[in-house]
Amino acid sequence: MRVERMTNEKFKIFLTFDDLMDRGLSREELWNDLPRYTEYLVT
């Protein structure tokens, strides 16, 4: 995982597939239910 500060109030988080696997997410689950995982990663 890598975090990059864009401004004082914004930042980007870069996750690798291994990072997602470490958090219990599979590729199939991610692609089949993308809105749910977008919500999971954003909140």
Give the pLDDT score at 35.
Answer: 81
3-class DSSP string for the chain: CEEEECCCCCEEEECCHHHHHHCCCCHHHHHHCHHHHHHHHHC
Give the pLDDT score at 17.
Answer: 84
- Total tally of structural domains belonging to the chain: 1
Tally Cβ neighbours within 10 Å of residue 14. Answer: 9
Give the pLDDT score at 6.
Answer: 93
* Rounded mean pLDDT for each run of 10 residues along the chain, 43 residues in total: 91 86 82 77 67
Domain of 35? 2-42
